[in-house]
Structure 1
Amino acid sequence: MREYLLVLFCTAAVTYLLTGPVRKFAIAAGAMPPVRARDVHREPTPRLGGIAMFGGLCAGILVASQLDNLSKVFSQGTDIRALLSGAGIMWLLGVLDDKWGVDALVKLGGQMIAAGVMVWQGVTVITLPVPGVGPVAVSPTQGMVISVVMVVVMVNAVNFIDGLDGLAGGMVCIAAMAFFLYSYRLWYGYTITDAAPAVLFSVLLIGMCLGFLAHNMHPARIFMGDSGSMMLGLMLAVAAISITGRVDPDLITSELGSQTATVHALVPIYIPLLLPLTVIALPLADLLLAVVRRTWAGQSPFAADKRHLHHRLLQVGHSHSRAVLIMYFWAALIAFGTVAFSVTNTGRTVVLTLAGLCLVGLVVLLTPRFRPRAPRAVQAFVPPRYRRRRPVPEVVRVAEKLSPVGGDADPAAPAPTPEDDFPVMDEEVLRRFGDGATAVGHRPRGRG
């Protein structure tokens, strides 16, 4: 575990340190497209954040290759080389799209080429694990098709949710954490060495996302762009492929002693049967809904719009940060709930817990106007939007009826707040409250 923590820290640190220079490079290179109608940000923001993430990936792999236990992953297979090849192609395609824009069909072709290169180097589905039956072999052609489809679907699922500050990076990080727990348990809990590459890939993903999120949370200073989102989707797909088709259910059965326990342990694999889609079910659902919606309207499935799940959260009244946190909540609930169900022998407790959390999530989802307030004891340590407001003094209530210069207020103008600065205070207010009017930050006549 210490080696994984070291790789995670190095990956996150390099990604974090590179993001600042990459932001300056993106501004100098002109990778700051104007704000489009479907965008939610108000100012042009540089892209190309995937460059920093790719640098963090290379640094993490370099560190892992020098460690005693993790170096075995490099010598026992070609998964790392295949990952770098596919990620490099996907990253280069994303950089071109972030700077000059790439046609949707050309982008789809590039995604298939990146997936094909990885399949050619050995990252492919060989068998499908079926409890009670054992591994069901698939032909090389079938394995290639399944693997390419998995990569393309996962890449576009992550790319589709990259619409709010910190949304794609945070959700992929949550999915990678859940997948790390699952694959780590298979490797060290059941001594299945074929799960080792998936553990390393998950750690690299977590480090890349954490390092970049420090610059990408709202308000974002830089976007990951397609160079980052497509690479994250590819890595998540590679982690799934490296486990799916290599884990023999009979090995776990021999360890647990019953088929029922094996069923619970293999939930993230055999329910989707192709890959543990449960760890990214929310982006996948958004992808499917977008394809159906656009096809039904006679548009291209790759035509951009402003009707994704996160856009709908903003439309019903949630703030930017609140919409992102809601998406985080549901992604974590699905991903970690699936992993928890695979760990326990009986799913009743897990199901009841998930049902309770779902109820809490629905309440929060349906109350967009509610804003949590921190206790007074910790208000100094939280952002201003979570602090309790003090009662508005009477001087402000009187001033709200008056204009800033003593005339009648404009009915169409918004009501002043305690934080508004009135440069001149009306004489009536001064006579009633005297120097006390300065207590809320107003400046009477004749005072400096």
Structure 2
Amino acid sequence: MILVRQISSYFGWHLLVLVVVSFCICAVIVLIKDRLPRLSGRVHDLNVVQTVHSRQTPRVGGLAIFGTLALSELFAPMSISEQYGKFVIAAGLLFMVGLFEDLGFHVSPRKRLLAAAGASLLVISYLGVWLPRADIPGLDAVINHWAVGIPLTVLVTAGIANGFNLIDGVNGLASMAAIISAVAMTIIADLAEFFVMGHLAIMLAAGILGFFVLNFPSGLIFLGDAGAYTLGFVLSWYGIAILLNAPEVSPWAILLVLFLPVADTLLAIYRRSRRNADAMAPDKLHMHQIVMRTLEICFLGRKRRKIANPLSTLVLAPFTIAPPICGVMYWDQKIMSFAAVVGFGFLFLISYAAMPRFIRWYCSTIRSDAMTNRSTK
């Protein structure tokens, strides 16, 4: 009850303002998209290998995400307002690079990743902090030295930023994952009595919610690179801030909070290395794409993508919701949170490997039944 009362203290008119502002920005973009085709990116984006959509849709939902992030400075606790302002400026670098890509000015994946690394270096320069620990024997003994801590922090934050971009392929998946991660961080910060981060995280969730309403299930607007990269970047740094200010919080619990984008990123790196493919090359083998094809081939039909797309987000809900719940449950238990990471990682890999096999079995069964029916006529 004490936890419920404390968390309820975060809710107020400022959250409603952030939700409404985010929704209004997105609604205006949707209304004017025909007059400003640039908001939907390039026409040939519909033909790229990783796309799962069939019509041009505004890709600048990041304007709502970053707009409410900047607006939240007005509601941030005074004790961290200056530092928070510097952090938003650093995030703005990554946002702008992503926005150029969303507007149709080609920015390569490597340049976007470099922008994420540069934004993290700005945060480190402004605030003089980096990832304080990883709960990995040997690494924690040297992570406080800048030569180890800074490169590792840049790698982690840029990787998570890219991870949210990778899972942003079907309606609502990335934004739902970000909302759940932000709420989970709010609860963990509250349990650790780091109330400042609780305020910041719940405001981030409010800003995403206004966008989510128009993104799921209808897909009227997308996060785009600016939105997805910014969300991953901000959430990764929120996790680092919690670890810096709450020594009892396990890094494995924070990893659970961000499980889906991290798991999908690591799987993509492994998958591409096995094929000797460019690590930055897009493909159609992400978990959400496999799920959607399974739904289309085995259950809905190939012409029912409008249903298969948002349904994929619901099918992936266990991997979106369950790990952050465990992260909250085991927020201060290193062994249990580590075991949960291993367990969910195993389930993720098994599920990923099982779906193509299920499709092959299903298709062979259908063909066998069809041949049997023909032979009996």
Secondary structure of residue in 2 paired with 1:30 = helix
Structure 1 residue aligned with 2:198: 199
Give the deviation of 1:217 after TM superposition. 0.8
Give the alignment's TM-score, normalised by structure 2.
0.76
The counterpart of 1:338, out of the listed 327, 343, 348, is: 327
Q: Is 1:303 paired with 2:315?
A: no
Q: Does 1:320 align with 2:324?
A: no
Q: Which amino acid aligns with 1:296?
A: R
Write the mapping of 1:258-297 to structure 2, written as runs, cut at 5 A: 266=249, 268-269=250-251, 271=252, 276-297=254-275
Give me the identity figure in percent: 21
After superposition, the C-alpha distances for 1:42-84 in whole angstroms (9 at most, x for unaligned) are 211111111122111222221x14xxxx22332xxx5302321
1:236 aligns with 2:235: yes
Residues of 2 paired with 1:233 and 1:101: CA distance?
A: 21
Shift of 1:24: 4.3
Separation in 2 of the partners of 1:317 and 1:105?
32
Q: 1:87 aligns with which of 91, 96, 121?
A: 91
CA-to-aligned-CA distance 1:193-226 (integer Å, 9 cap, x gap): xx34432331122112211011101221111100
- Tell me, in whole angstroms, the C-alpha distance in 1 between the residues paired with 2:134 and 2:267: 29
Residue 221 of structure 1: SS of its match in structure 2? coil
Question: Conserved in 2, the CA contact under 8 Å of 1:124 and 1:143?
Answer: no
Q: Which 5+ residue runs of structure 1 have no aligned equivalent?
A: 188-194, 250-265, 370-448
Name the aligned partner's letter for residue 313 of structure 1: V
Q: Which one-letter code corresponds to 2:109 in the other structure?
A: A
Q: Does 1:71 align with 2:78?
A: yes
Distance in 2 separating the partners of 1:126 and 1:330? 25
Relative distance call for 1:171 and 1:248 in structure 2 (3 A) is: closer
Matched, 1:17 2:24: yes
- What does residue range 55-204 of structure 1 map to in structure 2 within 5 Å? 55-62=67-74, 64-65=75-76, 70-74=77-81, 78-99=82-103, 100-122=105-127, 124-125=129-130, 127-128=132-133, 138-187=144-193, 195-204=194-203
Task: Classify 1:293/1:120 alpha carbon distance in 2 versus 1 (closer, same or farther; 3 Å).
Answer: same
Letter matched to residue 215 of structure 2 = N
Q: Does 1:52 align with 2:64?
A: yes
Aligned to 1:427: none
Distance in 1 of aligned mates of 2:201 and 2:317: 18
Q: Could you give the per-residue CA deviations for residues 164-208 of structure 1, whole angstroms, max 9, x where no partner exists? A: 011100011111111111111111xxxxxxx34432331122112
Look up the match of 2:213: 214
**Count of residues in correspondence between the two structures:** 321
Matches for 1:320-399 after TM superposition, within 5 Å: 320-342=309-331
Runs of 4+ in structure 1 displaced over 4 angstroms?
Answer: 24-27, 129-133
Say whether the 8 Å CA contact 1:47–1:224 is kept in structure 2: yes
For residues 8 and 187 of structure 2, the distance between their equivalents in structure 1, rounded to whole angstroms, comes to 15
Instruction: Show the counterpart of 1:248.
Output: 247
CA contact (8 A) 1:124 1:147 kept: no
**Partner letter of residue 105 of structure 1?**
R
Name the SS of the counterpart of 2:133 in structure 1.
Answer: strand
Shift of residue 2, structure 1, vs aligned partner: 5.4
Q: Verify the 8 A CA contact 1:155 1:233 in the aligned structure 2.
A: yes
Q: Kindly indicate whether the alpha-carbon contact (under 8 Å) linking 2:177 and 2:260 is maintained by their aligned counterparts in 1.
A: no
Alignment partner, residue 368 of structure 2 = none
**1:29 Cα deviation after fit:** 4.7
**Could you say which structure has the greater relative contact order, defined with CA pairs below 8 angstroms and 6 or more residues apart?**
2
What pairs with 1:420-431 in structure 2 (closer than 5 Å)? none
Structure with greater proportional helix content: 2
Which whole-Å CA distance do the structure 2 matches of 1:130 and 1:313 have between them? 33
Residues 341 and 85 of structure 1: is their aligned pair in 2 closer, same or farther, counting only changes over 3 Å?
same
Gap runs ≥5 in structure 2: 1-6, 297-307, 360-377
TM-score computed with the length of structure 1 as normaliser: 0.65
Q: Is the contact between residue 172 and residue 310 of structure 2 (CA under 8 Å) also seen in structure 1?
A: no
RMSD: 3.2
1:207–1:95 Cα change, 3 Å? same
Evaluate the alpha carbon distance shift between residue 285 and residue 2 of structure 1 in structure 2; reply closer, same or farther with a 3 A threshold: closer
Preserved CA contact (<8 Å) 2:131 2:153: no
Residue type matched to 1:94 in 2?
G
Identify if the C-alpha distance between structure 1 residues 102 and 126 changes in structure 2 by more than 3 Å, giving closer, same or farther: closer
The aligned amino acid for 2:20 is A
